[in-house]
């Protein structure tokens, strides 16, 4: 019987837990994420599958209604929310940072620990909990600009070292070159 | 050094393979888990040569750059630089509708392309809660297992090529051509087939596929015997791969390894068996696990996996042969394109087709993480949908990315020739690493 | 018949016989028949002969980047044997290579090494842009992929598709051979791209 079989309230920094599409998402306070990860690892979640950051800038804004192939042409920076009947509920902060954990047991257990950040806020690095987090955190820093405190080597990983900006953010343009008559993309 | 000293006196018959078993405790480099630092006393001797295995080098992994510090021939420092193939898949997919997105994941892991397609399509189907017909599930299983054989064949051919067993390349590519012929027959393309759609398959399985596939299934064990005969008792191969690149089970889990790299370190974990998807809970197969943790065991795990995949393909064939005439894609016209004949007669089909192609179908709001066992390990897709026609966020968990994290730990006491063997055995595809 | 050029010297070619007027026909000429000598020999210019030699052994450089590299490896395999054209010797060092087959998408980070490899190759050198990504950026029109390698290296042949079939790549290679044999100069002499 695991410590969290009946509920995740015992986790340090626990805010809420949610079940959807067959998986559990546990939201934790940003300041307590390191302690929460340690508790989860001690409970059997010895495997960190992934660290993902999602940028919710522009979430739920009204977009251009109608088709994406509109006469205004290609708008490279506009997030994809167009003419919905109901807009999605707003998110607490701009970035969500998800840790996908796996307990290699029979039956397997998976959980997503999630915390929310704003621009400029930093998060404790979990390299001391799972060493594999090293490159995952570097990638998230490189592409999204999330600062990880205590990371031994927080440098750019995928982009060239002198690149400016964080490409996966929603206010970063898609780049490339303009293509005539291709208004959808 | 990991090789016994009296090399010339040894005959092939009495081969006492003495190699160190995986170590106790952890060997993860202390300061940074993924960088091997030169010890200070060696740096002081001023005898360290730093060389650059640049992004363009003969071993055929793709564009991986290793900055290697050498003390004579021994590797004392290692730093892997990636990003030379960063394609921006995740941001590009945010600009495309869900239907058009399917062509992107294939190019991420370009050796296990069907598995990469599959993970994305499974994630979208989970969000849509759409039910996939049985025929599509079994055909997906078959094609994914063929893809596993394909990926392991290329691993075997190129790893052997790098270590000097050049003939293996031609043997492995001979079987690879047969697999690609099967793909071409079914999907129309050799690689990057775009055959898996949200809801099932793009087209029905053509006539003549089952006999051809059965011919391949009957031939493949003979081909595997060929490969084993070439390599498995070859003294040079054994010396170059046994005891090289050791990774203990504890370090493997700590470094996030999955797939053959993990199973070669003695950890019995396979998502096909432990978190089954598609039809894997209805097929019978073994999961090879070896405890040596070295390059040889990773090679053996992949060889055995090829044999098991052939058995799975055989079982899928037997099930599929009885499913002629059944639907191959889901019936939900809001998501799935209608058949082209209907467009001439049905107004609703025309409207659905138009809306799906121009605006795209809508996927309900939510986030999901789906993981499958790709030839490289746990390949995952994290999707966030805002209810619109395009993804809000797509992220792929790349097994090759974490495999390269383990390079610094696997190196241990290697010499530069072993470095090639180790990096080859981790089976990292740079498209998967850099995304 | 005496007016038609039948002898080597009628073509303006010096042979030892011309320099040594009293020397009779050599054994070789006697065997072939002195009258048919010009028909039995191949007459060519030095340029054509050199181009023939270059065409028949144009060694590619190992520049596999992404998925196209796998199809490039398969043209060396036994079904689409590239050794028929003398090109199975993929040289790892650009100093020994004639042909750069850019196979795969080129990220901006990789563009500098690509140009460096191209510069390290010795003239004459050719570039084949294999696949849609190398030709034009392919399906990736974004912040990180170079929209066609012809922005940084002059390209001779573009091979489309994603990835091109091995036969398509071989068609591109053969067209390059034919073009070079016919006298078309390599791309760096024709185009003003970043030379």
What is the structure's pLDDT at C3? 65
> Higher-confidence residue: C175 or C30?
C175
What is the structure's pLDDT at A7? 77
The band of A58, judged by pLDDT with boundaries at 50, 70 and 90, is confident
What is the structure's pLDDT at A72? 37
C140 neighbourhood in chain A, CB within 8 Å: 176
The band of C43, judged by pLDDT with boundaries at 50, 70 and 90, is low
Whether the predicted pLDDT of B5 surpasses 50? no
The 10s digit of each residue's pLDDT in B156-188 is 999 999 898 889 999 999 999 999 999 999 999
| Touching subunits for chain B (3+ Cβ pairs under 8 A) | A, C
The band of B235, judged by pLDDT with boundaries at 50, 70 and 90, is confident
Contact B296, B242 (CB under 8 A): yes
DSSP C64: B
What is the structure's pLDDT at A184? 47
Average pLDDT rounded to a whole number, residues B320-342 = 88
**Domain regions of chain A by residue span:** 14-67+76-149
Fold that domain B99-408 belongs to in CATH: Cytochrome-c3 Hydrogenase; chain B (1.10.645)
What is the structure's pLDDT at B123? 95
Contact B395, B370 (CB under 8 A): no
Q: Compute the distance between CA of residue B279 and CA of residue B430 in angstroms, rounded to an integer.
A: 29
Complex ipTM value: 0.88
Average pLDDT of chain B to the nearest whole number: 88
Class of domain C51-190: alpha beta
Average pLDDT rounded to a whole number, residues C76-93 = 89
What is the structure's pLDDT at B12? 43
Query: Shortest CB distance from C63 goes to which of B56, B104, B158?
Result: B56
Of B336, B311, B324, the C-alpha closest to B131 is B336
Whether the predicted pLDDT of A95 surpasses 90? yes
Query: Shortest CB distance from A81 goes to which of B86, B388, B402?
Result: B388
What is the structure's pLDDT at B34? 86
Average pLDDT of chain A to the nearest whole number: 82
Whether the predicted pLDDT of B218 surpasses 50? yes
What is the structure's pLDDT at C189? 84
Whether the predicted pLDDT of B6 surpasses 50? no
Half-sphere exposure of C105 (CA within 13 A, CB side): 30
Q: Of B57-61, B358-362, B396-400, which has the strongest mean pLDDT?
A: B396-400
C77 neighbourhood in chain B, CB within 8 Å: 169-170, 173-174, 176-177
Average pLDDT rounded to a whole number, residues A113-129 = 92
Question: Within 10 A of A94 (CB to CB), how many other CB atoms are there?
Answer: 19
Indicate which of B52, B53, B56, B113 best probes the interface with C, i.e. most C CBs within 10 Å of its own CB: B56
Residue with tokens 């099932």, as numbered in its chain: B200
The 10s digit of each residue's pLDDT in B56-107 is 887 757 889 999 999 888 899 899 999 999 999 999 999 888 989 999 999 9
The 10s digit of each residue's pLDDT in C122-167 is 988 999 999 999 999 889 988 999 999 988 999 999 999 988 999 9
What is the structure's pLDDT at B178? 93
**Domain regions of chain C by residue span:** 8-40, 51-190
Whether the predicted pLDDT of B9 surpasses 50? no
What percent of chain C clears pLDDT 70, i.e. is strictly above it?
Answer: 79
Restricting to A residues 114-143, those with a Cβ less than 8 Å away from any Cβ of B are 127, 130-132, 134-135, 139, 143
| Touching subunits for chain A (3+ Cβ pairs under 8 A) | B, C
**Min CA distance, B14 vs chain C (Å)?**
36
> Higher-confidence residue: B34 or B379?
B379
What percent of chain B clears pLDDT 70, i.e. is strictly above it?
Answer: 95
Average pLDDT rounded to a whole number, residues B252-273 = 91
Report the CATH architecture of A14-67+76-149. Answer: 2-Layer Sandwich (3.30)
Q: Poorest-confidence range of A63-67, B418-422, C94-98?
A: A63-67
């Amino acid at each position: 019987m695991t410590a969290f079989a009946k509920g995740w309230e015992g986790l340090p920094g626990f805010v809420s837990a949610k079940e959807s599409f067959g998986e559990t998402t546990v939201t934790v306070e940003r300041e307590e994420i390191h302690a929460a990860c340690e508790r989860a690892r001690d409970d059997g979640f010895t495997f960190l599958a992934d660290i993902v950051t999602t940028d919710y800038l522009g979430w739920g804004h009204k977009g251009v209604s109608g088709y994406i192939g509109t006469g205004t042409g290609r708008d490279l920076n506009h997030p994809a929310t167009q003419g919905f009947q109901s807009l999605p509920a707003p998110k607490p902060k701009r970035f969500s940072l998800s840790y996908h954990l796996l307990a290699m047991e029979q039956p397997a257990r998976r959980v997503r620990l999630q915390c929310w950040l704003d621009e400029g806020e930093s998060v404790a690095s979990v390299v001391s909990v799972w060493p594999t987090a090293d490159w995952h955190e570097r990638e998230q820093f490189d592409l999204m600009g999330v600062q990880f405190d205590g990371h031994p080597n927080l440098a750019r990983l995928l982009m060239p070292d002198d690149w400016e900006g964080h490409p996966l953010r929603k206010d970063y343009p898609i780049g490339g070159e303009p293509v005539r008559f291709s208004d959808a993309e | 050094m990991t090789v016994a000293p009296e090399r010339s006196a040894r005959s092939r018959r009495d081969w006492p393979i003495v190699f160190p078993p995986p170590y106790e405790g952890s060997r993860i480099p202390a300061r940074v888990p993924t960088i091997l630092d030169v010890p200070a006393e060696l740096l002081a001797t001023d005898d360290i040569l730093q060389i650059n295995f640049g992004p363009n080098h003969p071993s055929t992994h793709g564009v991986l750059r290793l900055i290697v510090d050498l003390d004579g021939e021994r590797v004392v420092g290692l730093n892997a630089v990636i990003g030379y193939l960063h394609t921006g898949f995740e941001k590009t997919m945010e600009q495309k509708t869900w239907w058009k997105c399917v062509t992107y994941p294939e190019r991420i892991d370009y050796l296990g392309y069907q598995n990469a397609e599959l993970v994305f399509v499974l994630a979208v189907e989970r969000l849509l809660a759409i039910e996939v017909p049985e025929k599509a599930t079994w055909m997906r299983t078959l094609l994914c297992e063929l893809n596993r054989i394909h990926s392991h064949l290329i691993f075997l051919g190129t790893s052997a090529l790098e270590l000097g067993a050049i003939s293996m390349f031609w043997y492995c590519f001979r079987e690879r051509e047969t697999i690609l012929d099967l793909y071409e027959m079914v999907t129309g393309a050799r690689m990057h087939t775009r055959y898996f759609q949200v809801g099932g398959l793009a087209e029905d399985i053509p006539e003549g596929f089952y006999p051809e596939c059965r011919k391949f299934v009957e031939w493949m064990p003979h081909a595997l015997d060929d490969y084993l005969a070439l390599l498995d008792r070859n003294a040079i191969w054994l010396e170059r791969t046994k005891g090289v690149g050791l990774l203990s089970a504890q370090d493997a889990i700590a470094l996030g390894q999955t797939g053959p790299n993990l199973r070669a370190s003695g950890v019995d974990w396979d998502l096909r068996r432990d978190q089954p998807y598609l039809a894997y809970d209805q097929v019978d197969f073994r999961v090879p696990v070896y405890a040596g943790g070295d390059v040889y065991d990773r090679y053996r795990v992949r060889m055995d996996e090829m044999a098991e995949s052939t058995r799975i393909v055989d079982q899928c064939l037997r099930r599929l042969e009885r499913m002629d005439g059944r639907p191959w894609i889901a019936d939900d016209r809001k998501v799935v394109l209608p058949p082209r004949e209907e467009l001439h007669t049905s107004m609703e089909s025309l409207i659905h087709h138009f809306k799906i192609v121009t605006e795209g179908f809508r996927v309900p709001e939510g986030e999901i993480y789906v993981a499958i066992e790709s030839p490289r390990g746990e390949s995952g897709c994290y999707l966030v949908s805002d209810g619109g026609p395009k993804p809000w966020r797509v992220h792929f968990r790349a097994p090759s990315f974490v495999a390269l994290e383990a390079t610094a730990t696997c190196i241990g006491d290697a010499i530069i020739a072993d470095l090639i063997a180790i990096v080859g055995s981790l089976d990292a595809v740079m498209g998967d690493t850099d995304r | 018949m005496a007016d038609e050029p039948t002898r080597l010297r009628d073509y303006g070619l010096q042979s030892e016989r011309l320099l040594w007027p009293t020397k009779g026909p050599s054994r070789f000429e006697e065997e072939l028949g002195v009258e048919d000598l010009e028909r039995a020999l191949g007459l060519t210019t030095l340029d054509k002969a050199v181009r023939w030699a270059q065409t028949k052994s144009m060694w590619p450089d190992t520049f596999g980047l992404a998925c196209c590299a796998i199809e490039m490896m398969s043209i060396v395999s036994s079904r689409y044997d590239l050794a028929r054209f003398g090109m199975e010797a993929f040289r790892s060092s650009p100093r020994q290579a004639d042909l750069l087959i850019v196979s795969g998408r080129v990220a901006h980070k990789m563009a500098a090494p690509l140009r460096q490899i191209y510069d390290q190759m010795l003239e004459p050198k050719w570039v084949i842009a294999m696949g849609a990504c190398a030709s034009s950026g392919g399906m990736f029109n974004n912040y990180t992929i170079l929209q066609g390698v012809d922005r940084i290296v002059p390209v001779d042949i573009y091979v489309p598709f994603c990835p091109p079939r091995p036969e398509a790549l071989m068609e591109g290679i053969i067209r390059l051979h034919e073009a070079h044999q016919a006298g078309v100069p390599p791309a760096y002499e024709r185009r003003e791209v970043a030379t």
